[in-house]
Structure 1
């Protein structure tokens, strides 16, 4: 073998090896892994975390208004305004009697007091460099600052509750997509079982036709049934592809990687009575808790508006340095306090009315949400109980129809049953299997919806479940 041929052979082997590695299936993701991926990058969680961060910033801002504020300023100015120049000289402690025109004053001149001093009225151009430190100390502002702080803290708690609800809703969405893939896989299994049965019927019908037991129309009916089943298989595969696309979007799965899921999961059904679940929902549902905190924030808004009717007390302290040069400045300080009371202000009444109206709206929204949630919990609880009974009934129906179809097929193979009866029985069995898949999926969703309503939906409440078709053997 030549060197060139050897290189070509090695290159082909490398390409085949790389293709084999690329064709290996990716590791299947279980439900908890899907939830972890969704919580890290899903836009819903990013938005919820951003709202919580915004609320934290509002709390920090409100708390900052309780603390003293220190500011520094530097100024450089030049002017020939008589009042400004005189003020500059005073702040620099450079004022003299000549600034008042003392050199022009003559006590022997009767009109001396009426003479306009040139030094005072026309000082010429003068400049000043000023440095100032100012400390502002809020003492009491009618409770406005404390009320605003309580209001922002309540809004932060509402945002935190919203974050928890966003997490639970995202867990619900992931479960719906994840179980949708599981149900789609089960649907494909049902369709493939139906396809194998239909292929067997076509084969049997062809053999019976050759023996003269059947007519050709019976064979055509079996072939038409096979085509319908093949279409059902393709439809089930499309359903799985759609479910995988939904799940991939939720968890941010790369398009270049194949997504597969692990075993099925099943949410736990709360064992508490309905009245207990309704009471738990009122205290644990994150949406209700968020509305309750918003109502508290609206109540604090009334206190903020009432502060406009009360006096405000503040203190301040200034330290200044003024001079004609930066290194030679005269220091001075000012310390003082201020009490202001807005005695007459017609606008503040509107602010109080608006705050009270906002509180009433918040309370009305809370009461409405509590009533809807109480009804919702009752409805979902009943649906979840019905779903469990429906799964049990569908399971028994599948077992019964499977046995009935086995007997029909035996009669058909011996020529004592028509192809119409055989195909009708198989269609009923296929429909029963599909209804069992739908019932199990609905059961999982109803349980998850109940856990979400009572504020208990989390990955720990969702455990692995046995395969959907564990009760069945081969078709």
Structure 2
């Protein structure tokens, strides 16, 4: 089981204190990931699957060991056969118990006499103390198949745990990047709002000077109201992004947190083909499915074990006494060979079902392999497009800023209208927003490529 790192434990303690006070807790990307890996319930689910698989292996290995059973049985009966058997077990049987008291050698019908002591004995007690040992020797390879299956499931669970860690890391990065992106949108909206306020102030002066008409001022005020609405919306998006990040870290929704600097993700120089090949060998989800397929194959062998004979040993020690005690002891040793000749299709259908499950797992692996190849190609292409968009949007922002500077100069000179100013400002706002969006998309696609190629762990970043 993954233990909470010192960072995560400190975050848990500080966040609890942060709820009581107004001081927010500052978390960088590493602290966010460590907290999520230590506290997110998905990690508990993943780790318990490992525990289950390890317990299944220990159970299978323990099946090779002898089974030792101790028992104590108390019996009281007046059944003729039971009483005679109990006395024999206690080694207390006498000639009288055989009915010799009714033996009369002069009786010509001696052979027809029914001995009363034998047929109608009095009630008798017996306390049987038993220690029995059963040792499995060969059961068609079933135990070995169970061990193979459990070992494969352990491998699958561990790879699944790694996949969960990387997926959580990816989602934390996405949320963490989402907060920074929301704040970038806030900056864009704030710039637009400040510009809109400046247009209102400028237009008021120009109206007083008689250079522009009052309708221009009305247009400027409408634009300011829209800019303020966009700013409020950007603030709301920031809170949603923070809530998403706190949810991933299993933190209280009212906890006050602040995030650290933006996390840059780099990609080594690769081609789509090399990245796809890396995904085939390093993606933990694929590795987990491969191990699950091996477990299904082992289940076939376990089902087929019932077709073969089995051989087991048994040793038993008994003590029989009329009272609690060990006066009469005995032992029994046995070797048992058994072979199920037919069960009218139970075993064969069980094998058929196991084969079908193995084929299903194999097909699921192939399907996931194809999906992973496609995801790598898609993320690669989207990354390349996003990189070009970033460059294009940076140029668009620079050009829009210069265009706005020029048109504002014309507006102050009474040459351009407020409609032209606002139209150009809208283009500038859109260019800035598009730049923020393309930067976010570029970073997410890099993270997506790392996730698909099995390189999204904190250590690899």
State how far apart, in whole Å, the 2-side matches of 1:279 and 1:114 are: 94
| TM superposition shift of 1:242 | 1.0
Residue 288 of structure 2 corresponds to which residue in structure 1?
290
Residue 375 of structure 1 corresponds to which residue in structure 2?
374
Query: Is the contact made by 2:279 and 2:453 (CA closer than 8 Å) also made in structure 1?
Result: yes
Query: Is the contact made by 1:150 and 1:297 (CA closer than 8 Å) also made in structure 2?
Result: yes
Bigger mean CA offset, 21-30 vs 122-131: 21-30
Residue 213 of structure 1 corresponds to which residue in structure 2?
211
Map 1:154-303 → 2, pairs under 5 A: 154-303=152-301
Q: Note the alpha carbon deviations across 1:89-109, whole angstroms, 9 max, x for none.
A: 122121122111122222332
Q: Note the alpha carbon deviations across 1:51-109, whole angstroms, 9 max, x for none.
A: 22222222222222111111111111211111111221122121122111122222332
State how far apart, in whole Å, the 2-side matches of 1:94 and 1:270 are: 89
Matched, 1:408 2:417: no
SS of the residue corresponding to residue 76 of structure 1 reads strand
Map 1:54-73 → 2, pairs under 5 A: 54-73=52-71
Residue 436 of structure 1 corresponds to which residue in structure 2?
435
Residue 122 of structure 1 corresponds to which residue in structure 2?
120
TM-aligned CA distance change 1:295 to 1:23, over 3 Å: closer
Q: Note the alpha carbon deviations across 1:186-214, whole angstroms, 9 max, x for none.
A: 11111111111111111111111111111
Scaled by the length of structure 1, what TM-score is found?
A: 0.90
Question: Structure 1 residue runs of 4+, over 6 Å off?
Answer: none
Q: Note the alpha carbon deviations across 1:249-276, whole angstroms, 9 max, x for none.
A: 1112224431221111122224222112
Map 1:355-370 → 2, pairs under 5 A: 355-370=354-369
- Structure 2 unaligned runs (5+)? 1-18
| TM superposition shift of 1:414 | 2.3
Residue 79 of structure 1 corresponds to which residue in structure 2?
77
State how far apart, in whole Å, the 2-side matches of 1:413 and 1:216 are: 15
SS of the residue corresponding to residue 214 of structure 1 reads coil
Q: Note the alpha carbon deviations across 1:213-244, whole angstroms, 9 max, x for none.
A: 11101111111100000000010011111111
Query: Is the contact made by 1:268 and 1:461 (CA closer than 8 Å) also made in structure 2?
Result: no
State how far apart, in whole Å, the 2-side matches of 1:460 and 1:381 are: 22
Map 1:13-162 → 2, pairs under 5 A: 25-162=23-160
Query: Is the contact made by 1:301 and 1:355 (CA closer than 8 Å) also made in structure 2?
Result: yes
Bigger mean CA offset, 105-114 vs 84-93: 105-114
Residue 12 of structure 2 corresponds to which residue in structure 1?
none
Query: Is the contact made by 2:203 and 2:212 (CA closer than 8 Å) also made in structure 1?
Result: yes
Bigger mean CA offset, 220-229 vs 300-309: 300-309
Residue 15 of structure 1 corresponds to which residue in structure 2?
none
State how far apart, in whole Å, the 2-side matches of 1:268 and 1:274 are: 16
Residue 353 of structure 1 corresponds to which residue in structure 2?
352
Q: Note the alpha carbon deviations across 1:327-384, whole angstroms, 9 max, x for none.
A: 3431111111111011233222212222222211111111121122112211111112
Residue 4 of structure 2 corresponds to which residue in structure 1?
none
State how far apart, in whole Å, the 2-side matches of 1:272 and 1:119 are: 98
| TM superposition shift of 1:24 | 5.2
SS of the residue corresponding to residue 338 of structure 1 reads strand
Residue 460 of structure 1 corresponds to which residue in structure 2?
459
TM-aligned CA distance change 1:409 to 1:363, over 3 Å: same
State how far apart, in whole Å, the 1-side matches of 2:380 and 2:216 are: 49
SS of the residue corresponding to residue 260 of structure 1 reads strand
TM-aligned CA distance change 1:454 to 1:140, over 3 Å: same
| TM superposition shift of 1:415 | 2.1
Residue 8 of structure 2 corresponds to which residue in structure 1?
none
SS of the residue corresponding to residue 28 of structure 1 reads strand
- Structure 1 unaligned runs (5+)? 1-20, 463-475
Query: Is the contact made by 1:100 and 1:120 (CA closer than 8 Å) also made in structure 2?
Result: yes
Query: Is the contact made by 2:243 and 2:253 (CA closer than 8 Å) also made in structure 1?
Result: no
State how far apart, in whole Å, the 1-side matches of 2:384 and 2:226 are: 35
| TM superposition shift of 1:22 | 7.4
Bigger mean CA offset, 97-106 vs 233-242: 97-106
Residue 389 of structure 1 corresponds to which residue in structure 2?
388
State how far apart, in whole Å, the 2-side matches of 1:394 and 1:25 are: 37
State how far apart, in whole Å, the 1-side matches of 2:316 and 2:22 are: 75
Query: Is the contact made by 1:318 and 1:334 (CA closer than 8 Å) also made in structure 2?
Result: yes
| TM superposition shift of 1:110 | 3.0
SS of the residue corresponding to residue 67 of structure 1 reads coil
**How many residue pairs were aligned?**
442
Query: Is the contact made by 1:253 and 1:259 (CA closer than 8 Å) also made in structure 2?
Result: no
Residue 341 of structure 1 corresponds to which residue in structure 2?
339
Bigger mean CA offset, 346-355 vs 28-37: 346-355
Scaled by the length of structure 2, what TM-score is found?
A: 0.92
Q: Note the alpha carbon deviations across 1:92-143, whole angstroms, 9 max, x for none.
A: 1211221111222223323223222222211111111121111110000001
Pairwise CA RMSD: 1.7
